[in-house]
Amino acid sequence: MTMNKHKTSQTRTLHVRKRVALVAHDHKKDDLMDWAVYNRHVLSAHELLATGTTGLLLEKALDLPVRRLLSGPLGGDQQLGALIAEGEVDVLIFFWDPMEAQPHDPDIKALLRLGVVWNIPIACDRSTADFLLTSPLMHEAYEALLTDYTEYQQRLKKRIGKVK
C-alpha cells in the first residue's frame, strides 16, 4: 500500500448555482451546441462562461447570458485556467477534438491540469457531460476537497533557491 504524499485538508464550496465553463474545439462546436440546447433548462440555473466563438454561439443558441472570454488560441484557455485557480469556475465542460492537433495544445493540457489540481468536475465528451449534469450534486451545494500542495511548494522554493 502506498501513501499519498499530498493531503486533503481544505475544501471549497461549489454553491447551488454553479459557474459552468463551456469550451469546444472547432470540430466539436456543433456537438456542444446540440448538447447545450438539449440541456438548456439545467444550464439556465447556472452561470455560464465560455471562450471566444463558443460563447457567442452559446448565447445565440440558448438565449442565455454567457460571460465570454478571449478565443482559446488567443489566450482564452489561459484566462479560463486563471479563473479555475482563483476559484471562479466550478465545472468545466470541454468538448475537445482528440483527432485534430491544435496549435494551442499546451494551453489545453494546462487547462485540464488546473481543473484536476483544483478538483473541479470535468467532462470532455457528451456522455460524461450528461452524467455530470444529471448528478444530484449538480443541483446542491458541494464541498470539494482540495489537495494540500504545501510540501510541493516548499520543494519548489528550495529548488529555486539553489538556482539563484
CB 49 within 8 A of CB 120: no
Q: Shortest CA distance to 48 belongs to which of 67, 73, 74?
A: 67
User: Which of the residues 26, 34, 63, 77 is marked catalytic?
Assistant: 77
- C-alpha–C-alpha distance, residues 31 and 19, integer Å: 21
Q: Where are the beta strands (DSSP E) in the chain?
A: 7-14, 19-24, 47-51, 66-69, 91-95, 122-123, 142-148
Asked about 97 being catalytic, the answer comes back as no
Question: Where in the sequence numbering do the catalytic residues fall?
Answer: 77
